[in-house]
Each structure stands twice: as structure tokens, then as C-alpha cells.
């Protein structure tokens, strides 16, 4: 997936979000660190261009909610970064945004983290790439692209804001 | 990170920065409606305090609870220590109940090191005698960084009881490691021999020491450790070294005033300074929780194989 394709995919998802959620007043976007955050901002911009409404956007760090912390006998702890959700999520329709959906464990952690901030009306999941191999019963509501992969491959999303270019690539082992 | 946090002098500059950066993220948890994350679920932390403490013990306990650890406080005034049990025996007995971490406050320097040798549990030094109080120095650094944006190149003046202060030793180790220009000041009777070898300027003239300072850190006059006549009276000490509004005027206009607590108002610090606009003393206390959460989190990870 190249930059052009990524742009059109996000615009399409923005339209889908608006189609499925009549009225944008209750919507809010929350991106999962690291690459979910710029994707959430881009979706906010795309939604704004369609109907001139600014959707509040936040950033969520799920490190402290991971289920694999303390399981490794060796090695440093993962770096904790900040969570910035400057609005109340109570009674909002939250769009949780991440780059790649894989085992579903990140999303499980993100759901736990979000619930600690309040009681949203609903949580919907937006991902740029769904690569399969779920280990938990989790399904995305909006998918940019379904990418069938083998377990040995890895999927890398590069974004302009972080990596200097927009690209999705599959890396062979 | 190492297995234990015993002294700032064991940490590298990168490790200190990692702790401060992690504390930044931890602080946000204290602003949420639900001030708790599940990170240390199932871990047991024992707070073993051989000296009275309000701030440090409460701060550790809040930090542990915010990370969902199970906490246990052993207050020595109600424990078998009064029946003559040694520190090593008490520690081995607690260790037999398999806690994951022990937070230790003890009147003897090096008590944490003794425990670290005896115990599998991770040891966090919450103040050992006249040696170190690492989490205090870390929260001081966090507070300075928050106000000044950096530590390197700042002029930091520390005034008070330089002889008995573990807060001083931890702060000197940390601040010089991060590149601050540290000046320490106190009466000659309270200056330990060889202090100038730690990369700090030593002074007995408080007005000169304070001039141009970005940060003034006050140290408590520790009456409980003073078994000699170090100065004639508290009143004379206040007149010669006490931090007053007039003295602060010699520092930089954006100076911040710090104190690790508990304060002796009218001895080392005037009330109108302690409660004044330059004072960040209560912020230090608030930041203490975030810094201790960061330390607990980083030490809880697996570093055992590197020991």
C-alpha cells in the first residue's frame, strides 16, 4: 500500500464512519500509541473535510495494561509513554484506532485502559490493516485492508509523521 | 535497571532520564477518575520502616496501590524488632513469605545493601541513615526539570545540615551526573570533610551561595541526629542561614524553592518563603508518587539474569 492508496483508504473509512454513526456530535477518536495516533488525527481531518465538524482526538498508551508484562525473566521493561485524552469519554461513541490488527491483545489492553477513563456509549474499532491470526475474540468495525499473512511474516506500517513516508509493507523473516 | 535501587551513585545518566521520563507518563494516571492501572497485579510489596515517616511511606503506598500491587506496612514500633530481632532476621522472615519488593527505611547507612545481599526480593532504599535517599533526589530532579525544562547548566544551591543529610548525598550524585552546577552551603560544623571532592562548590556564606541561583534547595536541621552543639541556637541558625524573602531576592527572578520536608519553620526556612510564590514544596510531594510509580514499574521487570 502506497501513500496515494493510504490516503484514499482513510477517506473511505471516514465516509463509512459517518454513514454508520448518524450525527458526529458524540464521536471521538482515540489512537493507540505509536502509529494509531497519527492515523486517528488523519481520520479527524478527513471527517472534518466532509462535514466541517471537529472530532476530538486523543492518544492512548497501553503499556501498563499489557498481558505480557513481567513474563520475561530477562530484559528491560517496555517504555511507558503518555496517555493524552483531554475530553471526557462518558457517553461518547469512541473510535479506537490502531495501525495493524493481529492477535487482538493490544486491543484487549486498550479496552481495559479506556474503561478506566469512564463509560463510553460505545467503542468501535478502526484498523488500517487486518493481518489475521487472532488469539482473542476481537473484530474490527472498519478495516483499511485485509492482508492475509503467515505467522512468520511481519507487517510494517510507515507513516509520514513518524517514518517520513506512507507505506505498508510485508517483511519476510 | 539493576535488581535494586540502593543509591543514585549506582545509576547511569540514561537510567535516571528513563526514570524521569517514565514518571512523566505515570503522573497522568493520578489525574484520572480511576487512579489505578493493573500493572503490578499479584506482586507483593512490603514497606519496612525503621524510622518515622509520613511523606515517604504514604507516597510509596499510594504509588504501589496505583499500580495494583498488594502492599503491606511493617511499622517497627509494633513489630518484633522491639523484642530484639535483628534487621537480617526480620528481613529473612519477611523474605520467607515471598514478597516481590521491599521498601526499606533504616537509621543505619548501608542497611539496604545488607538486605540486597540477603534477599531475592528487590530492595528499594527509602532512606538509609546518613547515606542516600534516592527516590527523594529523583523527585527533586523531576520537579526541577518540570520547571526549568532541563538540569544541565543550572545553578542549584543547597543550604542546611550537610553533615547528616542523605537527601544531600543523593542529590549531589544525581545533579552533578546530569551536569548541574551545584553549590552547597551550611555552618562549618555541619560540613563533612571531603565534601568538595564530590564536584560541588562548598560555601559558608549563604548570601553568596544564593546569588544567581536557579534553584534553592533547603535541608532540614535534623535535631534527632544531632548529639553535639553544632550551632548555638535555632534562632541564631535562622539569622545566619535561614531562607528569607530578603535572601531569595539575590537569586534569579524565576528561582524555585525546594524542601524535602518535614520543614522546621523559623529554623531553616521562613514561613512566608515556604508558603510563598517561589515555593514548589507541595509539588515535590505530588511528584513523589509519580516518580515512585516509575521506580516500582522499572524494577519489577526482569533483570534477574544480569545480576
CATH value at residue B181: 3.40.50.1370
A108 in a structural domain:
yes
In terms of domains, do B138 and B281 share one?
yes
In terms of domains, do B247 and B265 share one?
yes
B178 in a structural domain:
yes
Residue A28's domain spans which residues? 3-68+79-140
B262 in a structural domain:
yes
B105 is catalytic: yes
In terms of domains, do B281 and B149 share one?
yes
Cβ proximity of B298 and B18 under 8 Å:
yes
- pLDDT value at residue B253: 96
- The model's pLDDT over B8-25, given as tens digits with 9 standing for 90+, comes to 999 999 999 999 999 999
B203 in a structural domain:
yes
In terms of domains, do B53 and B177 share one?
no
Best B11, B31, B37, B300 member to test A by mutation, with max A CBs in 10 Å, is B37
B2 in a structural domain:
no
B189 is catalytic: no
Partner-chain contact A77 B301, CB within 8 Å: yes
Chain B contact for A76, CB < 8 A? yes
Cβ proximity of B157 and B210 under 8 Å:
yes
In angstroms, the separation between the Cα of residue A110 and the nearest Cα of chain B is: 12
Select the residue of B22, B25, B37 nearest A65 (Cβ to Cβ): B37
A85 in a structural domain:
yes
CATH number of the domain that A28 lies in? 3.40.50.2020
d(CA A140, CA A93): 15
B80 in a structural domain:
yes
Strands A154-158 and A167-171: antiparallel
DSSP A77: P
Total tally of structural domains belonging to chain B: 2
A164 in a structural domain:
no
- pLDDT value at residue A72: 62
For the entire predicted model, the pTM comes to 0.91
User: SS3 breakdown of chain A: % helix, strand, coil, rounded to 5?
Assistant: 30, 25, 45
- The model's pLDDT over B196-230, given as tens digits with 9 standing for 90+, comes to 999 999 999 999 999 999 999 999 998 777 777 88
In terms of domains, do B149 and B26 share one?
no
Residue B157's domain spans which residues? 134-285
Q: Which residue has the cell 532512606?
A: B127
In terms of domains, do B176 and B270 share one?
yes
Closest CA to A154 of A167, A133, A172, A166: A172
Per-chain mean pLDDT for chain A: 94
Distances (CA, A) of B42 to A65, B266, B287: 14, 46, 25
B274 in a structural domain:
yes
- The model's pLDDT over A136-171, given as tens digits with 9 standing for 90+, comes to 999 999 999 999 999 999 999 999 999 999 999 999
- pLDDT value at residue B306: 38
d(CA B57, CA B85): 22
B3 in a structural domain:
no
The single residue of B27, B43, B56, B292 carrying the catalytic annotation is: B56
DSSP B80: G
B1 in a structural domain:
no
A49 in a structural domain:
yes
A91 in a structural domain:
yes
Please work out, in degrees rounded to the nearest 5, the angle formed at the alpha carbon of residue B204 by the alpha carbons of B198 and B208. 100
In terms of domains, do B38 and B106 share one?
yes
In terms of domains, do B124 and B255 share one?
no
In terms of domains, do B147 and B278 share one?
yes
Q: From the CB of residue B17, how many other CB atoms can be counted at a distance below 10 Å? A: 15
For residue A171, give the 3-state DSSP assignment.
strand
In terms of domains, do B197 and B113 share one?
no
B133 is catalytic: yes
- pLDDT value at residue A77: 85
d(CA B221, CA B218): 9
Task: Please check the confidence at residue B181 and state whether its pLDDT lies above 80.
Answer: yes
Total tally of structural domains belonging to chain A: 1
A147 in a structural domain:
no
In terms of domains, do B161 and B94 share one?
no
For residue B159, give the 3-state DSSP assignment.
strand
B55 is catalytic: yes
Closest CA to B216 of B131, B280, B287: B280
In terms of domains, do B153 and B209 share one?
yes
d(CA A93, CA A21): 9
- pLDDT value at residue B52: 87
- pLDDT value at residue B228: 75
A163 in a structural domain:
no
- The model's pLDDT over B99-132, given as tens digits with 9 standing for 90+, comes to 999 999 999 999 999 999 999 999 999 999 999 9
A97 in a structural domain:
yes
Amino acid at each position: 500500500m502506497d501513500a496515494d492508496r493510504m490516503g484514499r483508504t482513510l477517506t473511505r473509512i471516514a465516509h463509512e464512519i459517518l454513514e454508520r454513526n448518524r450525527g458526529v456530535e458524540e464521536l471521538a477518536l482515540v489512537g493507540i500509541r505509536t502509529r494509531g495516533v497519527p492515523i486517528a488525527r488523519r481520520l479527524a481531518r478527513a471527517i472534518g473535510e466532509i462535514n466541517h465538524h471537529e472530532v476530538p482526538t486523543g492518544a492512548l498508551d497501553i503499556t501498563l495494561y499489557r498481558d505480557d508484562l513481567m513474563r520475561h525473566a530477562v530484559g528491560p521493561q517496555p517504555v511507558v509513554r503518555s496517555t493524552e485524552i483531554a475530553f471526557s469519554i462518558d457517553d461518547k461513541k469512541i473510535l479506537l484506532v490502531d495501525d495493524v490488527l493481529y492477535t487482538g491483545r493490544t486491543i484487549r489492553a486498550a479496552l481495559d485502559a479506556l474503561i478506566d477513563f469512564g463509560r463510553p456509549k460505545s467503542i468501535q474499532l478502526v484498523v488500517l490493516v487486518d493481518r489475521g491470526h487472532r488469539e482473542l475474540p476481537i473484530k474490527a468495525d472498519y478495516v483499511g485492508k485485509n492482508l492475509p499473512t503467515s505467522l512468520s511474516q511481519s507487517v510494517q506500517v510507515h507513516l509520514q509523521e513518524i517514518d517520513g513516508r506512507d507505506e505498508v509493507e510485508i517483511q519476510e523473516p | 535497571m539493576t535488581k535494586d535501587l540502593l543509591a543514585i551513585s549506582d545509576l547511569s545518566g540514561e537510567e535516571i532520564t528513563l526514570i524521569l521520563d517514565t514518571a512523566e507518563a505515570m503522573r497522568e494516571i493520578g489525574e484520572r477518575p480511576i487512579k489505578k492501572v493493573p500493572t503490578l497485579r499479584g506482586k507483593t510489596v512490603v514497606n519496612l520502616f525503621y524510622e518515622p515517616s509520613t511523606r515517604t511511606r504514604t507516597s510509596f503506598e499510594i504509588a504501589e496501590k496505583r499500580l495494583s500491587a498488594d502492599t503491606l506496612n511493617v511499622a517497627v514500633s509494633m513489630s518484633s524488632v522491639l523484642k530484639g530481632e535483628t534487621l537480617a532476621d526480620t528481613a529473612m522472615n519477611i523474605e520467607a513469605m515471598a514478597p516481590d519488593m521491599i521498601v526499606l527505611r533504616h537509621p543505619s547507612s548501608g542497611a539496604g545493601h545488607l538486605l540486597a545481599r540477603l534477599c531475592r526480593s528487590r530492595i528499594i532504599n527509602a532512606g538509609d541513615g546518613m547515606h542516600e535517599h534516592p527516590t527523594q533526589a529523583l523527585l527533586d530532579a523531576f520537579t526541577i526539570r518540570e520547571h526549568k525544562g532541563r538540569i544541565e547548566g543550572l545553578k542549584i544551591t543547597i543550604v542546611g545540615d550537610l553533615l547528616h543529610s542523605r537527601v544531600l548525598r543523593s542529590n549531589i550524585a544525581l545533579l552533578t551526573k546530569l551536569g548541574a552546577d551545584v553549590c552547597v552551603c551550611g555552618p562549618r560544623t555541619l560540613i563533612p570533610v571531603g565534601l568538595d571532592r564530590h564536584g560541588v562548590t562548598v560555601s559558608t556564606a549563604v548570601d553568596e551561595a544564593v546569588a544567581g541561583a536557579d534553584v534553592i534547595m533547603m535541608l532540614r536541621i535534623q535535631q534527632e541526629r544531632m548529639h553535639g552543639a553544632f550551632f548555638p541556637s535555632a534562632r541564631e541558625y535562622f539569622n545566619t542561614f535561614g531562607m528569607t524573602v530578603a535572601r531569595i531576592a539575590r537569586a534569579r527572578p524565576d528561582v524555585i524553592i525546594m524542601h524535602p520536608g518535614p520543614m522546621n519553620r523559623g529554623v531553616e526556612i521562613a514561613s512566608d518563603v515556604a508558603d510563598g510564590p517561589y515555593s514548589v514544596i507541595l509539588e515535590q510531594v505530588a511528584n513523589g508518587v509519580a516518580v515512585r510509580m516509575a521506580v516500582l514499574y522499572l524494577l519489577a521487570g526482569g533483570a534477574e539474569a544480569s545480576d
